[in-house]
Structure 1
Amino acid sequence: MTVTLFLLTLGASARLTRLVTVDYIARHIRAFFIRRYGPDNDFAYLVTCPWCMSMYISGGLFTLSWYFGEHPGFIIPAMALTASYLIGLAASNLDPAEVD
């Protein structure tokens, strides 16, 4: 595994972890598990805990990267997810907050 492939997989893992655990667009997935199993259940905790969820997402992505990392079908989505994560960080931390 090359350093470039490792960094792309790392960025994709970070973005997908944030998508599942925090982002507004995936709120229905989190709400489903919380409603279905209750707020104190392990599944409800899993989908809201970035430390917990990142192990599973990273495990899956790094396995895919190991076997299919040089394929454009892996590299292109990994690049897009990594770019999305980095742009989101930059937009959140480098741009001044808008004041109404």
Structure 2
Amino acid sequence: MSLAEFVLALGATCRLTRFITKDTLAAGFRIWIAAHFGDDSKLSYLVNCTWCSSIWIAFAVASLGYCLDGSLWLQLPETALSLSYLAGISSRWLD
């Protein structure tokens, strides 16, 4: 994995983790998990914990990176997710 691929994978992992654990658009998913498995369930904890979710998301992103090995089908989504994450961080500094 090249440095560029690693940085894109890192950005994608950060954005996907933030989306699942904090984003309002994924709140329905987190509520659904809590309703079906309980607020105190391990799965509910997983979808609300950044540290817990990120390891599984990183595993999936790294696996895709290995399987698709620099494919444009992976680079485009990773780039978009990385840019989205950086834009979110930048908006905190600029606003």
Q: TM-score range by the shorter chain?
A: over 0.9
Deviation of 1:95 (Å): 1.9
Q: Size of the alignment, in residue pairs?
A: 95
CA shift, 1:36, in A, is: 1.1
Structure 2 equivalent of residue 88 of structure 1:
88
Structure 1 residue runs of 4+, over 3 Å off?
Answer: none
> 2:35 aligned with 1:13, yes or no?
no
Q: Secondary structure at the match of 1:28?
A: helix
Question: How far is 1:37 from its partner?
Answer: 1.4
SS at match of 1:78: helix
Q: Which runs of 5+ in 1 are unaligned?
A: none
Match of 2:58 in 1: 58
Distance in 2 separating the partners of 1:20 and 1:71: 25
Q: Deviations over 1:74-100 (max 9, x none)?
A: 0000000000000000002x123xxxx
Partner in structure 2 of residue 23 of structure 1: 23
TM-score normalised by the chain length of structure 2 = 0.96
TM-score, normalization: structure 1?
0.92
Alignment RMSD: 0.8
Stretches of structure 2 that go unaligned for 5 or more consecutive residues are none
Q: What residue identity is the alignment partner of 1:22?
A: K
- Aligned match of 1:48: 48
Larger radius of gyration: 1
**2:94 partner letter:** D
**What do residues 53-93 of structure 1 show as CA deviations (whole Å, max 9, x unaligned)?**
0010000100111221311000000000000000000002x
Question: 8 Å contact 1:5–1:69 — kept in the other structure?
Answer: no
Per-residue Cα deviation, 1:21-74 (whole angstroms, up to 9, x for no partner): 000000111000111111111011000001000010000100111221311000
Matches within 5 A, 1:66-81: 66-81=66-81
